[in-house]
Structure 1
Amino acid sequence: MEFVKLVTDPIVSKVFELLVEPTLRQIKYVFNYSDNIHNLEEEVGKLTDKKQRVEHAVEEVKRNPVEEVEADVQRWLTNVNNVIEDAGKILLRHEDKAKKRCFMGLCPNLIRRHQISRKASKALPIVVGAREEGNFEKVSHRITPQGIGAVKGFEAFESRTSAAVEITNALKDADVNLIGVYGMGGVGKTTLVKQIAEQARENGIVKLVVIATVTHNPDLKTVQQQIADWLDYKFDVESVEVRAARLSERIKREQKILIILDDIWAAIKLEEVGIPYGPDHKGSKILMTSRNQSVFFEMGVQKDVSLEVLQRQEAWNLFEKIVGDLKDSNLRPIAIKVAKRCAGLPILIVPVATGLKNKEIFKWNDALEQLKKFDGKGHEERVYSALELSYNFLRDEERSLFRLLGQLAPHVVVIGDLLKYSIGLGLFNQRTTLQATRDRLLKVISDLKMSCLLLEGDNHEQVKIHDVVRSFATSIASKHHHVFTAACQTELEEWPNKDFFEQCTSIS
């Protein structure tokens, strides 16, 4: 009873709080040493495992160009490294302590034991807290691409300067929403508008650029989907009208957006696609390309710009840049004639020059004679003759794949589809496994790109083909290999007879 009274005395109680409790706590560090070290080791292990799982997820994100790691995940990884490093120092002192004992090694060093146990005890909740903070539902978010990136193959030709200035000024003009660029196929309309769009984004004229290819046989759903992909927007309906309404609302959230509609052959109604402009959304700019100026008249374009073929010196400079310096070569006179017959069209100059680079003089002479046959002919004949020259330089596998490209949907081709068709048609029969066939397909695709007959796709699962080149590939397949090709939704006036189909090697 006397002891209880003593403890409950306020003065004695305060002394107990200030002196005895801290002393007991310090003693506990010594007696709980093993538990504190064991608990810290266990939690550091759990934290290290959690860190590795998050790092694996982050590495996966970094391989995906449309995903970005969340900022708090990056901060957490940095903090975790520091936490693990600090805890590791404590555990390292524990290991060193085991080797250093007082009284000639007969008993533990109590002072070091106390110090290490105390630090381990204080580090434990920090390690546990860090692990709990790493319970992320997702480590990344999808990002909307702001621009189309660097434009491959762009050359700053002087003849393009005035057109580029006109287009840029129209983009700056608040009263102009619809802008058109027209010119013959292969003159470089797409390359120019992409370059101008990227510069406009970098200069702050627009904040976001999206692009969709329309083609001569437009499918509104496809155009809608291309625009939606750039905006990271997912449709959950099939109705074109409902999709248009929802796409329009999504576009209206962007204050300064440039929408490129490439390769328009006939007038389309933008409201049916879901593209707001003018009073409906002044933040939209629509930049279109076409071979026919009358298309823009029908669509009410406020500013149209003509793009002409390259001037003779520009065409020669581009040709010589590809084939190499010919100033001291006896090939120069022939090369000048060949370049001239490419009609100032980059779509012809680049593949022809690429095909003739490092070739013997007799091949240059033969190429010149082939191109001469179409002097005075129409545009299409001259274009096809130049492309046929490049086609003739291809190897058998490259020709087979090139003809196949002419039978598929225009512009964008999925490599997975090419693989299926290649296997079905037996293009690479000498390959014994699926992986070997895919590797060979990718090699042939790479060769066609080097020949400038195939273009890079928007991602590694796609390739693109210029509409002029595809049209030529279709004609080659039809003329020389009896392939019957009809565009989707084309109405035939008369179904071909049985004899015709018996001559066909395939139907697309």
Structure 2
Amino acid sequence: MAGTDCGVNCAAGLAVSIVTAVGRQACYYCYEFNNLVTKLGKEQEDLISIRDDVQSQLDKDKANNKEPSRDTQRKFKEANELIDEVDKLKEKAEAKKSCCDGVCPNWICRCLVGKKAKEKTEAMKQLNNELRPKLPFSRHKSLKCVPPSKDFILFKCTEDARNAILMALKDDKKIRIGLHGMAGCGKTSLLEEVREEVEVRKLFKTAFAVVSNKPNYYKIQKSIAARIGLTFKTEKHVRDRAAKLLMAFQEDKKYLVILDDVWQFLDFRDIGIPVGENCKVLLSTRQRNILDMMKFDPPPIYLSLLTNEEAWDLFKVYAGEINDPFEQVAQRITYECHRLPVAIKAVARTLKGKGLHAWKDALRTLKDRRRPLNIEKGLEEPYRCLKYSIDELDAEQISLYLLCALCPSDSEIAIEILIRFAFGLDIFRDIFFE
């Protein structure tokens, strides 16, 4: 009998201990509910950040014809699944954390969700520790395009052309989209504006390359590769680079390749641009026949010149406030710029802050109809306006400008290199070093 009583007492004591432990744990989950959910969110943020870095590394490896290990792929899949599970758990925690119209806490739900939150937090922490060593300390960033100028003004002609381009980009049947217009009418500025809008809306991943009158496939490939995070290491020939580019574009992404200032026929396959459903091309040129020759989708988009009123408004933006007796001369100067934005901006900036005598001299210079030597037909007016703005620079500025002109067309000129050459050529004569 005594043995039986002893057994009963031991069982009762064990039951009390178990119930006490369970109760203490339940209380912990209930009262620490908010802290557990907060820790869950923070650990999820870390996992998402690491997951995105792993995704970038996988994309880069795929573009460079490398295959990730099965272990990395498995853990990457686990990360995505765990992130989705945590999202659902957070929604449940928010929806059922209280009852009675929010007056009382829902203790049962808090206990159950709090327990799961703690378990998921530990699982994410372990996965973070496993994925983190697989990441490089640093990685090459995709080269960002230069953002469009903040002083870009959307006149009716540019707005119409921009809207036409965006509509074509949204049309699945439009793959090759062409923009044409006179030199100096603002095609490059418009393309930069479109690129920025496309990136902000996340419609496409963009690549931008300037082609010019003598297309260099090597340079075009390098510009495109830099924008999509691709590196050329062993590929020395244009054909090998094209093959690597074609492989990089075969991802599950939508690309827009923007080619500016095209003067002659381009072979997209030779460059490495797989024009198709996941890769569209937006091209600008001065010559409409280029678009027909390259079989661009009709109709081509035309960027017209400014109206007289828009030209006058643009001139006032860059020249500043214009009062009598400047206004009449200013209007005649604007007329001589022939509604070309590049010419209006150059002349207006040059004249800003100068006296009436300088404005009248500018008008006489711009009205000089003697045709300059070796200037392509149709470019005389922009040339005349740009030449005037350059002639008004001081001696040092002109020397620096001419020094830049010696560099290849559309090349990026490092300031440090430019300054070294300038000192070597004794352009800065008034600067001395002890």
- Sort the TM-score into its range (normalised by shorter chain): 0.5 to 0.7
> Following the alignment from structure 2 to structure 1, what is the Cα–Cα distance between the partners of residues 431 and 167?
55
Counterpart residue number, 1:177: 175
> Following the alignment from structure 2 to structure 1, what is the Cα–Cα distance between the partners of residues 210 and 252?
21
Structure 2 residue runs without a partner (length 5+) = 1-130
* Mapped contact 1:146–1:209 kept (Cα < 8 A): no
* Mapped contact 1:197–1:209 kept (Cα < 8 A): yes
- The reply to whether residue 315 of structure 1 matches residue 314 of structure 2 is no
Counterpart residue number, 1:348: 343
User: Offset at 1:134?
Assistant: 11
Q: Deviations over 1:468-492 (max 9, x none)?
A: xxxxxxxxxxxxxxxxxxxxxxxxx
Q: Structure 1 residues 254 and 366 mapped into 2: Cα distance closer, same or farther (>3 Å)?
A: farther
> Following the alignment from structure 2 to structure 1, what is the Cα–Cα distance between the partners of residues 418 and 144?
30
> Following the alignment from structure 2 to structure 1, what is the Cα–Cα distance between the partners of residues 190 and 153?
9
Output the amino acid matched with 1:421.
Answer: F
Counterpart residue number, 1:162: 160
User: Offset at 1:135?
Assistant: 9.2
- 1:176-325 equivalences in 2 (<5 Å): 176-206=174-204, 208-236=205-233, 237-253=235-251, 255-278=253-276, 282-303=277-298, 304-325=300-321
Helix, strand or coil at the partner of 1:210:
strand
Counterpart residue number, 1:403: 402
* Mapped contact 1:163–1:306 kept (Cα < 8 A): yes
Output the amino acid matched with 1:269.
Answer: D
Count of aligned pairs between the two proteins: 297
* Mapped contact 1:147–1:201 kept (Cα < 8 A): no
> Following the alignment from structure 1 to structure 2, what is the Cα–Cα distance between the partners of residues 419 and 302?
46
Q: Structure 1 residues 311 and 288 mapped into 2: Cα distance closer, same or farther (>3 Å)?
A: same
Q: Structure 1 residues 136 and 253 mapped into 2: Cα distance closer, same or farther (>3 Å)?
A: closer
User: Offset at 1:137?
Assistant: 7.9
Q: Structure 1 residues 402 and 229 mapped into 2: Cα distance closer, same or farther (>3 Å)?
A: same
TM-score of the superposition, structure 2-length normalised? 0.64
Output the amino acid matched with 1:342.
Answer: C
* Mapped contact 1:374–1:382 kept (Cα < 8 A): no
User: Offset at 1:296?
Assistant: 1.1
Q: Deviations over 1:230-261 (max 9, x none)?
A: 12211121111011000111122251111111
Among 327, 332, 348, the alignment partner of 1:332 is 327
- 1:134-145 equivalences in 2 (<5 Å): 139-144=137-142
Output the amino acid matched with 1:387.
Answer: L
Structure 1 residue runs without a partner (length 5+) = 1-132, 437-508
* Mapped contact 2:371–2:380 kept (Cα < 8 A): no
- 1:44-193 equivalences in 2 (<5 Å): 139-144=137-142, 148-193=146-191
CA RMSD, Structure 1 to Structure 2 (Å): 2.5
Q: Deviations over 1:335-361 (max 9, x none)?
A: 011011111111111110001011100
Counterpart residue number, 1:386: 385
User: Offset at 1:204?
Assistant: 3.4
* Mapped contact 1:183–1:307 kept (Cα < 8 A): yes
Output the amino acid matched with 1:216.
Answer: N
Output the amino acid matched with 2:331.
Answer: I
> Following the alignment from structure 1 to structure 2, what is the Cα–Cα distance between the partners of residues 389 and 149?
28
User: Offset at 1:373?
Assistant: 1.3
Counterpart residue number, 1:414: 413
> Following the alignment from structure 1 to structure 2, what is the Cα–Cα distance between the partners of residues 295 and 362?
45
* Mapped contact 2:404–2:413 kept (Cα < 8 A): no
* Mapped contact 2:179–2:283 kept (Cα < 8 A): yes
Q: Deviations over 1:454-475 (max 9, x none)?
A: xxxxxxxxxxxxxxxxxxxxxx
> Following the alignment from structure 1 to structure 2, what is the Cα–Cα distance between the partners of residues 235 and 249?
13
Q: Which has the larger radius of gyration?
A: 1
* Mapped contact 2:181–2:304 kept (Cα < 8 A): yes
> Following the alignment from structure 1 to structure 2, what is the Cα–Cα distance between the partners of residues 254 and 390?
48
User: Offset at 1:380?
Assistant: 2.5
Helix, strand or coil at the partner of 1:421:
helix
User: Offset at 1:431?
Assistant: 3.8
User: Offset at 1:325?
Assistant: 2.4
Helix, strand or coil at the partner of 2:274:
coil
192-201 or 353-362, which moves further after superposition? Answer: 192-201
Q: Structure 1 residues 371 and 148 mapped into 2: Cα distance closer, same or farther (>3 Å)?
A: closer
User: Offset at 1:398?
Assistant: 0.3
- 1:466-481 equivalences in 2 (<5 Å): none
> Following the alignment from structure 1 to structure 2, what is the Cα–Cα distance between the partners of residues 253 and 337?
55
> Following the alignment from structure 1 to structure 2, what is the Cα–Cα distance between the partners of residues 370 and 293?
32
Q: Structure 1 residues 311 and 219 mapped into 2: Cα distance closer, same or farther (>3 Å)?
A: same
Q: Structure 1 residues 205 and 148 mapped into 2: Cα distance closer, same or farther (>3 Å)?
A: farther
> Following the alignment from structure 1 to structure 2, what is the Cα–Cα distance between the partners of residues 222 and 245?
15
Output the amino acid matched with 1:325.
Answer: E
Output the amino acid matched with 1:153.
Answer: D
* Mapped contact 1:375–1:382 kept (Cα < 8 A): no
> Following the alignment from structure 2 to structure 1, what is the Cα–Cα distance between the partners of residues 296 and 180?
12
